[in-house]
Chain A
Amino acid sequence: MPQPLPAAQTPMARRYAAGRRAVLFAFLALAIALPSMVGNASELNYAILVLMIAQAGVAWNILGGYAGQVSLGHAAFYGIGAYTSTQLLLQYNLSPWLGMVAGGLVATLFALAIGWPCFRLKGHYFAMATIAVAEILQIVVTNWDWLGGAVGLSLPVAEAGWRGFVFNKSNVPYYYIMLGLLLLTLGVNLLIERSFLGYYFRAIKDEPDAARSVGIDLTRYKLIAIACSSFLTAIGGTFYAQKELFIDPGSTMATSLSIKIALVAILGGVGSLGGPVVGAVILTAIEESTRAMFGGTGRGTDLIIYALLIIGVAVYYPGGVTGWWRELERRWFASVAERHARAGP
């Protein structure tokens, strides 16, 4: 039972909440202004990479964080999004914007078909089942010639512009589209968090037996969680296809991608709204800096540092960065409250 913050209606707490909101808006303004601030294309590209993995992590968080069903197979949804929109474009010349929605729907259907039987499984059994499903899908696509097999699919660059969802002059439009998708995904999470669904998901995560005993249909709400989560993950996959203009099973469906999606959520803080975004910034920074410092040697030094950080966070900060921050806040509030109490009425 977390200790409640001392009287949320005190002026100090109100000022603190207002300050926090101001900081959030400052970050949003910074994110909007970023493309005009970064110096070169590769820096902007890093920023887009951060937004992409953040969006996938936020989408994962609906199922893995709020509802507590740990999926290590989200790359399957990502890949379905990428392949559906790409194939609809190549075969039927359908706009990638519509393809994005179609990819989300296909991924949702796939997720529901998988979730229906697999939600019976608990904990490790479920996590491993998601790995198995995603690996099987990857093997099937790798051997499916119609989908380009192991070679992958290349997207046409003919129709550049907003209509065609292809930009060959600058990455700035990609940046804003991805920022929009991230905000959309965060918005869905916020709606869930604030609605009855948020309470149901948390009940399913923390007290499944109690939740069932008060009449919550566990499978039904897990299916709602996986439907939202897979749809949003898949639209990220379509974005990847449109940005890279090339997809193959290894880059869109690999278990390493599934792990990374879950990892940003864990680094940032599982089940917190902004956690995966924080985690994405940190993970990308770690990856890029270790690669820049040690990667070229081909000796795996970057892997070692990366691994030590993962272990360190998992062992010492299981709540991730946001969990650690909340702990700081709690202590600070407690010390302030104590000072007030000592000062007397």
Chain B
Amino acid sequence: MGASFDILLQTLLSGVLIGLIYALVAVGLTMIFGVMDIVNFAHGEFLMLGMYASFWGFALWALDPMFTLPFTALLLFALGATVYHLVIRRIIRAPMLSQIFTTFGLMILFRGLAQFLWTPDFRSINHSIVEGKVAFAGLQFGLPQLVAGAGAIIVTGLVWWFLHRTRVGAALEATAADKEAAALMGIDVQRMFALAWGIGAGCAGIAGALLSTFFPIFPEVGANFILVAFVTVALGGFGSVAGAFWAGIIVGMVEVLGGFLVGPQYKLALVLGLYLLVVLLRPQGLLGRA
């Protein structure tokens, strides 16, 4: 009894840790969706690029991913804002199908570029400063996972603080609520959209940096996260950062518990089933605006 309880507890906590990463990826996605009603299929690719940024910092200059993390975040912020200015700006009023296929095209583009520049090989970062295991009350955790979880909490918290406690954050929220009214109040809506893309990509990039110490790095790695991130966004309520945080943890737990009880091959199916249940039974999600 005691042993199986320990296993269950260990499983649940590891679900919480991966769930925190899902939350961080979903925060960016939900922000872009909330502010401008566009679903970014290329979001997993921002995460992938964050992982590669960490990898190259480590491989070329022996800089630890934890040390380069702020630079990775800035780099991805700039990329997100650039993608907005070059591409997304032109499709804000386009039909939904055009929007879907634009971000879908971006997804293929980033994967193709990564393959072109860095080959399809799997890479990994060995001997980062976060390494090894931590034993606590009979449970064992990888230090990289713990650090990643803690980092995800901090960054998600910072985004929440930014949105709810600063003037620019309030302007972003106002833009999400009503573009026309926000523009009339003197808010530069275009800048707010670019900011949402910058923060969204930055969050995904940070998630990539945090993952890079314990997850393989390859051009298609984003595919592992994008569907889960959609589910997290829906469960939390489209546009809600706090909702995405709690939803990420729930999705992480559903995934590991489902893997534990039903079988690991059904993990994704269970998570997607959760999406269907949420949008059909409670479309506004946990903390979304109705």
Contact = CB atoms under 8 A, between A and B. Distances in A.
Interface of A: 64, 70, 72, 117-118, 120-121, 123-125, 127-129, 131-133, 135-136, 139-140, 142-143, 259, 262-263, 266, 270, 298-304, 306-311, 313-316, 318
Contacts of A139: 265-266, 268-269
B112 A311 contact: no
A57 to B, nearest CB: 13
A132 B82 CA distance: 30
Nearest to B37: A124
A207 B263 CA distance: 45
A310 B42 CA distance: 14
Nearest to A134: B272
A259 B104 contact: yes
A314 B92 CA distance: 12
A121 B37 CA distance: 15
Interface residues on B, range: 35 or more
A135 B98 CA distance: 22
Interface in B210-252: 219, 227, 230-231, 234
B272 A307 contact: no
A262 B95 CA distance: 14
A315 B91 contact: yes
A308 B275 contact: no
Interface stretch (B113-121, B128-136, B139-147, B190-198): B113-121
Given A117-B280, A307-B105, A311-B106, A70 B115 contact: no
B179 interface: no
B283 interface: yes
B279 A70 contact: no
Contacts of A131: 227, 230
Contact of B115 (A121, A299, A306): A299
A129 B276 contact: yes
Chain B binding site: helix, strand, loop or mixed by DSSP?
A: helix
A306 B159 CA distance: 35
B49 to A, nearest CB: 14
Given A70-B97, A310-B104, A315-B102, A128 B109 contact: no
A301 B112 contact: yes
A304 B109 contact: yes
Nearest to B265: A143
Interface string B246-290: 000000000000000001011011001101100110010000000
B87 A140 contact: no
B241 to A, nearest CB: 18
Contact of A318 (B94, B104, B219): B94
Given A123-B96, A307-B112, A135 B227 contact: yes
B220 to A, nearest CB: 10
Contact of A306 (B97, B108, B268): B108
Nearest to B263: A143
A142 B108 CA distance: 25
Given A303-B108, A311-B87, A315-B91, A125 B100 contact: no
A334 to B, nearest CB: 24
B63 interface: no
Contacts of B102: 310-311, 314-315
A307 B109 contact: yes
Q: What are the nearest 4 A-B pairs in CB distance?
A: A303-B112, A300-B115, A307-B109, A310-B105
A72 B101 CA distance: 11
Contacts of B96: 70, 123-124, 127
